[in-house]
Amino acid sequence: MRVFVSEFVCGGGWPGASLETSLAREGQAMLAALIEDIAQIPGHRVVTTWDTRLGACPLRHCDVRLVDSAVDELSQFRELIRDCDAAWVIAPETNGELLKRALQFRLVNDTSPPRSVPRRFLGASDRAIMLASDKLPLAAWLHERSIPTPETLPFNPADRQSETHWSGPTIIKRRDGAGSQDMFLVREGFDLWNARHELGRLHEPETFIQQPFIAGTALSVTLLIAEDGSVLEVFPVAEQHFGEDGHFKYRGGRIPADISPESAAAVQQLAEQACLAMPGLTGYVGCDIVLPDVSHDKPVLIEINPRLTSSYLGYRQLTNDNIPARLLDANIPPLRWKSEAVTFTV
């Protein structure tokens, strides 16, 4: 099987003269790890693209197509889709990039000659990606289904008279942000002024939301979901580590999280409930969750990531089994996890 692994940032899809540093760092780490693991599966060959702006390609265990512009990358992306048996796309939700990639796959697949064995898109449906990628309608969708999630409202940084809705600490972030991109913790007036100043000059006003800050333990859970919608795996709960400057820069984590078994079970149950409720949510899915300090038995779902997440770097250390193989072949045995905890950084 020929598998095309496409990482949007390092693979050459990022527009403009400079790459977004944190996304490029995390993207390269995920790309290298995923390629190495897929290449270890007997009968599987991997091909990918690499942005020449990043210098010499450090990737091994794969065929590499070098690209020198976003236009070149898109052309290579389409060609490699036509030539592959399966495609695994890693891309941020920002500006709809993950959705655009999925749509490109459907377009190329639908306009290519018929195959005896259909190409596989190892990810969610277009509709599921669209819903999960926009945090404002996602919050409303979760509330309608009684799935615990923070109240979420629009925030316009261009309106100098706007205030946060809540009197306590508030999170301001992009509706379509990936990772900790453009996130601000507002505790006082200066924080609000700074958020308005930084965000107002970068993006369109309607692209931001506000949520009440929930003091607690930041966690994540990964699920592997088969193409028929059945849950193949619910991974151990991961603890997320962030910088403390109010911008929530992702630093890595610890797996399993240092929480009680009862809390871990509640977190896993919440993640599975949310994922099963969303039609078309398949592949590798990450759920970000907070376990509030005031109620360890009532986790709150922050967002759903319909793609590979950075916690993959930790999960692959926690098992001797091959994680991609489990998704590519649902008939192989469940993953076996080591008993000791692992920590990882990005």
330 φ, ψ to 5°? -70, -10
pLDDT at 341: 98
Distance CA 324, CA 88 (A): 10
Residues 4, 88: contact at Cβ < 8 Å? Answer: yes
pLDDT at 205: 63
The answer to whether 266 touches 258, Cβ cutoff 8 Å, is: no
Instruction: Write out residues in the chain with pLDDT < 50, as ranges.
Output: none
**pLDDT confidence of residue 112:** 95
What's the pTM value of the predicted model, to 2 decimals? Answer: 0.94
| Domain ranges, ordered by start, for the chain | 2-122, 128-149+215-345, 153-212
Q: What is the CATH number of domain 128-149+215-345?
A: 3.30.470.20
CATH C-level class of 153-212: alpha beta
Q: Judging by DSSP bridges, how do beta strands 250-255 and 63-67 pair with one another?
A: unpaired
pLDDT tens-digit profile of 80-121?
999 999 999 999 999 999 999 999 999 999 999 999 999 999
Assigned CATH for 2-122: 3.40.50.11770
